[in-house]
Amino acid sequence: MQERLKELQAEALDKIAQAADLKELNDIRVAFLGKKGPITEVLKGMGKLSAEERPKMGALANEVRDAISSQIEARQTELEAAAVELKLAAEKIDVTLPGRPVKAGNHHPLTRIIEEIEDLFIGMGYTVAEGPEVEQDYYNFEALNLPKGHPARDMQDSFYITEEILLRTHTSPVQARTMEKRQGKGPVKIICPGKVYRRDNDDATHSHQFTQIEGLVIDENIRLSDLKGTLDVFAKKMFGADREIRLRPSFFPFTEPSVEMDISCKMCGGHGCSTCKGTGWIEILGAGMVHPNVLEMAGYDSKRYTGFAFGMGPERIAMLKYGIDDIRHFYTNDIRFLKQFSVTE
């Protein structure tokens, strides 16, 4: 009996040591220490022992039970710790791994150019003014010295909605609206960015919808030289300090005198090349001294106040600055085009 108990202990301890998980360990506990287990079975034979041997055998049986259960406990602790280790390893986060990049959007190149131009003028004390895209004939034409039937209206083929309402053909109506609001009191110093519309057939240099930025300065003693100085600063900041500007006489009904501003060609340094069509100069914008009729219609005393105005196309400026060959790229939203202006990639 004694031997049998020792055998059972050895067998149990061996199995415990090999138990691979908690379930197996529990099965071993039930198998060896349970009521139907082999130890209980052996002890049933105690009745045949002498009175002397019986307590000894009882004590031995208890020893064996204790040895087995303490071994089970030890193994259980071991297995539990291993299970925790395993779980930790499985859930481990490598904080040194680089993060997954989040794709960021970007400003459209036109928005970028418009904001750059805005910032430049804001830096010179201008404020930004906006006006409606669906405009009254009055502000788009009449208040700009373009009465009905004026031949210069043909310069800007318009989308009319009714006789009196149209999609604005330029940002100049914002001039007229702003001046009217000031009720004849200077000074005014604004730039007006926005969308404009013309009945043009779309091609590499024309679009039925495009953007403009208008500038207007009104005060006492504003002269053409102020306009020239302003445009010179603008051109040098926008295109490079080595650029020269020149003003050519031109015609706009809302300015007198009217000019067009060219910048010296960067490609050839002014010697003449295909970009500047051999002239050494590239046309950038229209400008002039605000026509007295325009001032008077908005309620300004044209004897006291004078002003200058200019209007430019951000598309044209972006095309020159970035070497873009087709205006339609701005509106077709080809991601490969837009990505070239990305700041994050």
Residues that bind ligand DAH (CB under 6 A): 170, 172, 214, 252, 255, 286-288, 309-311
DSSP single-letter state for residue 151: G
Please, what is the minimum distance in Å from the beta carbon of residue 109 to ligand DAH?
Answer: 21
3-state secondary structure of 56: helix
- Gap between the Cα atoms of 205 and 196, Å rounded: 15
Please, what is the minimum distance in Å from the beta carbon of residue 93 to ligand DAH?
Answer: 60
Taking the least distance from each CB to ligand DAH, the nearer of 186 and 288 is 288
* Residue where the block lists tokens 């053909």: 169
Please, what is the minimum distance in Å from the beta carbon of residue 165 to ligand DAH?
Answer: 19
Taking the least distance from each CB to ligand DAH, the nearer of 13 and 174 is 174
Alpha-carbon distances of 219 from 119, 259, 308, rounded to whole Å:
22, 20, 9
Taking the least distance from each CB to ligand DAH, the nearer of 65 and 316 is 316
Question: Does 256 belong to an annotated binding site?
Answer: yes
Please, what is the minimum distance in Å from the beta carbon of residue 310 to ligand DAH?
Answer: 5
Taking the least distance from each CB to ligand DAH, the nearer of 280 and 313 is 313
Half-sphere exposure of 179 (CA within 13 A, CB side): 32
Q: 282 Cβ partners below 8 Å, 6+ apart?
A: 262, 263, 264, 265, 275, 276, 320
Identify any residues that bridge with 192 across adjacent strands, giving them in sequence order. Answer: 214
How buried is residue 113: exposed, middle or buried, by Cβ count under 10 Å (0-12/13-18/19+)? buried
Taking the least distance from each CB to ligand DAH, the nearer of 251 and 331 is 251
Please, what is the minimum distance in Å from the beta carbon of residue 316 to ligand DAH?
Answer: 11
Taking the least distance from each CB to ligand DAH, the nearer of 25 and 311 is 311
Residue nearest ligand DAH by beta-carbon distance:
311
Instruction: Show the tokens assigned to 23.
Output: 């379930």
Residue 315 near residue 207, CB atoms below 8 Å: yes
Taking the least distance from each CB to ligand DAH, the nearer of 71 and 255 is 255
Residue 276 near residue 262, CB atoms below 8 Å: no
Residue 294 near residue 145, CB atoms below 8 Å: yes
- Gap between the Cα atoms of 130 and 191, Å rounded: 8
Half-sphere exposure of 302 (CA within 13 A, CB side): 13
Please, what is the minimum distance in Å from the beta carbon of residue 242 to ligand DAH?
Answer: 26
Residue 328 near residue 204, CB atoms below 8 Å: yes
Please, what is the minimum distance in Å from the beta carbon of residue 324 to ligand DAH?
Answer: 20
Choose among 142, 152, 160, 164: nearest CA to 298.
142
Which residues carry a binding-site annotation for Mg(2+)?
256
Which residues carry a binding-site annotation?
256
